[in-house]
Amino acid sequence: SLLSTKNPSNLLNWQQIQQSVPRRADFEDPIVRLISCQDEEEQTALVSELQPYLAYSDVSLMCMQVLDAELRKLATSSNKLESINYRIRHANIERLLLAFNFPKRLTRQDRLLLQKTQPESDSRCHSFWSKQSEFYSQLQKKLMSISQLRKQYGKLWRRYLDCPLPVGNKSKQLCSLLVLLNDRVLGLLTNAMQLADFIMSAFESNNVEVGMAATPCVFHLVFNYSLDYGPLFDRLYQLVSLSGLMSPYRGRFYRQLDLILTATNISTARIAAFAKRLAALCLLAPCYCQPMLIGLVLNLLRRHKKCQYLVHRQAEDDEDVKEANEKLNGSGGSNEFSMSISLTEAEAASPGYSLWELRVLQRHWELSVGQMAKKINRALSVVEDFCDKQVVERDWDQVCEDLLPDCLKQAEALKESGYASDEEVDPAVDGDELLKQLDGWC
């Protein structure tokens, strides 16, 4: 047996296995033990032990073959979703899949540069066993290159995604899985279109949070693989909603939305419709999300100069507004904006829109929101990144912490000026009654 006998906590006796003839059966028991491990710390230690050896093509190939067989077994046991064993095996297989780490995919420019600097470079991985072994010669005949390992790795992920998620908060599990795909998986595959069905089904789901988490994956497929998805902008328009601002994935979504709307082939009416929806959402959004939304509107106006009629309407624009209103009235439509209308309706009414919301937000009680809205009064020239981590990940607790020192200073100033009442607060007053009064003032 090639299992470690000196230390039972180890996965394999690597010195002994390197001197013997490699067989796939030698990896079956250790991988099954790793997948079935119920102790999270022990499972993490076993994966950490195996991960350095996964850099060898032969070890990776054998582990992938064993994983493929285990995934087939997991798919057949999908009728036991409520069992703890299925949940543990599902999570452990995901950790093991993430342990594979291939070199970064080279672009065409990188390949040309490598041919000049390293003309004798080889794309094959190194072998763990000695060159005298019979398995090494067979491996050389198969030409196990990095691209072929990536292809096999993509098949494993497709088989894993076909397995249903365990019973629980499936939307949360699905969102975390989509984040992992975008950050650590899609860039390693030779053809990420293998996972397009799973990604697009999540993007089209009725759950707004899942759709926002899937947006970076969709952008990866559109940008790198020229995915032709007709209703892309319609779905993005729907995801710009108040419920989406409560999602922890709002930063990822609005950053990708900002990148997608940089395309120059998008019509002016469509850009105006997105700008109006973002501006209208600013009035409903929490104050910690408003600077980000205002920044996105400003970036749209900076990149697409023809949309600046939304904030600065000239005399010749009035005729366009009249023509648009006549068309809408003749077709039974309206130029009044509503968050419930579709993108097509918003595009038709866009000539009559104006971003009056930015004017209102210039007098916002939150200083950062007012300063951001006042940038519209200056020349719009430089595109800025308003989706940084500090702005996106703020919440009410951080806002209150930032405002508390200023509120205390204002209260002390009012007290010194004699504005505060000399009457002391009656301790018998119910606190709930005071909260109701405060709610009425707000």
Instruction: Kindly state whether residues 193 and 300 are assigned to the same domain.
Output: no
Greater pLDDT, 55 or 266: 266
Show the CA angle centred on residue 377, arms to residues 373 and 378, nearest 5°.
Answer: 110
Residues paired with 124 in a beta bridge? 145
Q: At what angle do helices 290-303 and 250-260 cross, to 10 degrees?
A: 10
Q: Which of 255, 285, 303 is the last residue of a domain?
A: 255
Tell me which amino acid residue 255 is: R
Q: Are residues 355 and 387 in the same domain?
A: yes
The whole model's pTM is what? Answer: 0.75
pLDDT averaged over every residue in the chain: 76
Percent of the chain with pLDDT over 70: 65
Our count of domains for the chain comes to: 3
201 and 94 in a common domain: no
Query: Is 433 part of a structural domain of the chain?
Result: no
Q: Which residue has the higher pLDDT, 121 or 64?
A: 64
Amino acid at 433: E
Number of Cα atoms under 13 Å in the Cβ half of residue 428: 0
* One domain, residues 156 and 18: yes
pLDDT-derived band at 427, boundaries 50, 70, 90: very low
In a domain, 326, yes or no: no
Is the same domain home to 152 and 185? no
pLDDT at position 315 over 60:
no
The answer to whether position 385 is within a domain reads yes
With CA atoms as reference, report the closest residue to 90 among 210, 176, 4.
176
Q: Residue 368 is part of which domain span?
A: 266-314+337-412
Question: In this structure, are 397 and 306 located in the same domain?
Answer: yes
Q: Quick one: pLDDT at residue 105?
A: 54
Whether 134 is covered by a domain: the verdict is: no
- Per-residue pLDDT band at 143 (split at 50, 70, 90): very low
Percent of the chain with pLDDT over 90: 29
Amino acid at 42: E
Q: Are residues 51 and 153 in the same domain?
A: yes
Q: Are residues 154 and 16 part of one domain?
A: yes
**Other beta carbons within 10 Å of 128:** 21
Query: What is the reported pLDDT for 4?
Result: 43
- Choose the most confident range, by mean pLDDT, from 8-12, 115-119, 287-291, 438-442: 287-291
The answer to whether residue 33 sits within a structural domain is yes
Please determine, for residue 385, whether its predicted confidence score (pLDDT) is greater than 90. no
Question: 437 is written with which tokens?
Answer: 């009064």
77-81, 132-136, 234-238, 308-312: which is most confident: 234-238
pLDDT of residue 397: 57
Rounded average pLDDT over 288-313: 87
- CA–CA separation, 388 vs 397, rounded Å? 18
pLDDT number for residue 442: 38
